[in-house]
Amino acid sequence: MPTPASLRTQWISTLENALPEGDWRTRFAPAPTGFLHLGHLVNAMHVWGIARAHGGRVLLRLEDHDRTRCRPEYEQALLDDLEWLGLTPDTFDTTSFRNNLVSHDARQSNQHMRYAAALQQLAAHGIVYGCRCTRKDIAQQVPHSAGTEARYPGTCRALQLSDTDTYAKRVQLETRAFHFHDLRLGAIGQTPADQCGDLLVRDRHAQWTYQFAVVVDDMTHGVDVVIRGEDLLESTGRQLQLSELLGRTTPPRFLHHTLLVHPDGSKLSKATHDTSLRDMRTAGARPDELLGLAARRAGLGDMQRLSAADIPSLFV
């Protein structure tokens, strides 16, 4: 259901004073694990619209840390879709990804040394340890309601497991509350150690996790404002704690926007094969039609068509 105009205007009207002054940076960071769908477009509209309306710059990053699910064809498709829609990044544009397939700075699969150095930095504080618990193990060990997160109970913390025992690594989190001001939702408080327990930063396949890679990359790329869907709200406190442990002195600001959902309340997902932008393009949809549809579904307006150049007007 679209957000009532009064509520929509309320948080949008505060953006000018809540965002950083000067040349600030945000990012659009899809994972190439499937074709982009309308939910991704809603996120892109928030990212580009807020940045263009309020003096920010957009960085494009490909979050392909999960090499078991990412595919080159999905990467090429999302680059094509962004160009077709007229959504042009200011930093690391689509052409740079096409022309620099091996060592691009904003493709996560290329950044093993970056993440290894960050892990070593944490290990020097004595807070990194090996873990051989699977998600199934944790779910069986910790009572929790269906659809909720199972808190890791620290099973392997004192075992002193080495890389020959398991590639997986966790970071021990001190029990602390983290408070932040979401630019749309207001004051939020979270205690990551109570939510998730010690944080997994490398999995048993030696792949870097989303929670770890995104924090390291946001620091490296100088991301000042993180604009993403409400499904990632619960990740914010743990990412703030991890960035503090890594030495970030000025944390990014966060804005979590509403999600597009099915009638049963579940979010749109590549995993459930929701209609992709590519399928809509093949069926004859125009860029301005899809942008208008995304704006209506997100409660940002009632226009039938919307050009990329007009997106900033939704956020002033």
Per-residue pLDDT for 232 more than 50?
Answer: yes
- State the Cα–Cα distance between residues 182 and 162, nearest whole angstrom: 39
pLDDT attached to residue 312 = 98
- Average pLDDT, integer, range 166-170: 97
For the segment 157-166, the average pLDDT, to the nearest whole number, is: 94
Q: Which strand (E) or helix (H) includes residue 242?
A: helix 236-245
Close Cβ partners of 95 (under 8 Å, ≥ 6 residues apart)? none
Mean pLDDT of 107-132: 97
| Tens-place pLDDT, residues 21-69 | 999 999 999 999 999 999 999 999 999 999 999 999 999 999 999 999 9
- The answer on pLDDT for 121 being more than 80 is yes
Band the pLDDT of 8: cuts 50, 70, 90. low
pLDDT at 76: 95
Q: How far apart are CA 65 and CA 214, in angstroms?
A: 10
pLDDT of residue 220: 97
Give mean pLDDT, residues 68-72: 93
Q: What is the pLDDT of residues 282-300, one digit of tens each?
A: 999 999 999 999 999 999 9
pLDDT tier for residue 6 given thresholds of 50, 70 and 90:
very low
Q: Work out the average pLDDT over 60-85.
A: 96
pLDDT given at position 310: 97
Look at residues 274, 273, 237 and name the one whose alpha carbon lies nearest to residue 256: 237
**113 pLDDT above the threshold of 60:** yes
Question: Nearest 5 degrees, angle CA 3-CA 52-CA 23?
Answer: 125
> Would you say residue 5 has pLDDT above 50?
no
What is the pLDDT, as a whole number, of residue 272? Answer: 55
Q: Which residue has the tokens 């779910």?
A: 139
Residue 260 contacts residue 267 (beta carbons within 8 Å): yes
Give the neighbor-by-neighbor strand order of the sheet with 178-182: 186-190, 178-182, 253-257, 225-229
Q: Which domains does the chain have, with CATH numbers?
A: 5-315 (3.40.50.620)
DSSP 23: S
Q: How do strand 186-190 and strand 178-182 relate by DSSP bridges?
A: antiparallel
Which single residue is written with the structure tokens 């094969």?
A: 273
Burial string for 152-183 (b: 16+ CB within 10 Å, else e) reads bebbbbeeebeeeebebbbbbbeeeebebebb
4: pLDDT confidence band, cut at 50, 70 and 90? very low
pLDDT at 263 over 80: no
